[in-house]
Structure 1
């Protein structure tokens, strides 16, 4: 158990967007992530659990490794992007604790002792915590299941906050298919309408609506034709407690259709 000073009341959902932000300083979300410790969250957590959109499995899997080898899970990008390092220590003890909490809540959970960090983790973390001195592990998403499943995953993981663990869901608030036309004049109306709906639902505490977004949200099929970038939000939301307060802490866009909205959930 962490000391009172080490206990954490916040969970976060961040939109990591394109890995090109590692070399492109013009991506607005990069500047936001670079101000993380000064403007968003100054406390240094004991360890970090990232729920990454880029790890999809049939059942929850958590990586239990001692070192964080990087996975360059993108193709056709400039060569320097494949040379980037983020040598954060792994968090095998945290991984075992995640497995304990999830199995104790009725979930199956598997330990993976080989997999490193994919870009859903290391790209944002290299700007948020550039010193790479905080132990990190990842938890997968189950794209074939629903928002309620991921919300319940988050609820099972909530005790980690009392142990000094920072829980971060990493996806993209709006993540259309590659075939969706971009918008050269501001933000595509359908994308803005979906993103605004999510903000309103979260900030007014309508978490059940977010869990059931396929019945409630406008244009969800365009915004998330595949749900893997949205479900990390549900985990962060579930881990925050039902009476938590949600706050939009960043919003920007790329090509008028890729959304970078980020949220902080603060438990009472």
Structure 2
């Protein structure tokens, strides 16, 4: 289970958020990345090249000065050069510029879209398990061949199922937060009067969880109908391949004089193809009905 993003967030930003779950967790915990370097500072590499270029000249000049009566000037030049090198080293950023820019960009996007994405830390163990069930069901539908081939309503699936995932995740995150608070309160111990008030709160949590689970179960039923249609879809393709080769088998049987022995089997294959076709249509119809229930 990764980062869940509101489908209303632009796709490029949603992709950035989903790809950076660990950094989002650090940002949520209060971490602030260093600011991006200003443009003039980013061109500091040119000064490094210049420093490298003059180094041999400085060394040669120092050697001449140190061998001459002007040795103090040589030591002064050496000290000044070392100072410049040390300043240059100290000015080098500890964070690579690309990393700094990426982290800062993510930080700004995370702040801008706060409340429109959820990270694994937002879910307790029970909620995470329920969300995984929903994601598995949604993934099974969206990756199916019957959806890709247009036997289902692919456009509506592409819009509605991510919306279902976000709504389920949003509710589970709220449930997790309230459930954690409630458990911590109970762990501290309650007076009898407070315990009487807390019991309806626990019932509210249980009822909310049951409602969310019911949504997930509806998704799972839909995915089950799609899986049945998927099996029938593949079986139909396989049977069509077999039917395409029937003339060759019939020719072989006729030439070998064994035609009467296999006529029934050949006829049964044709009947199987019709049965699978009806199963596929029935499965797709059931999937459409389950989808309408989700919309309900």
The interval holding the TM-score normalised by the smaller chain is: under 0.3
More helix per residue: 2
Instruction: Give the TM-score normalised by the residue count of structure 1.
Output: 0.22
Greater C-alpha radius of gyration: 2
| Structure with greater proportional strand content | 1
TM-score after normalising by structure 2: 0.21
Which structure has the higher relative contact order (CA within 8 Å, separation 6+)? 1
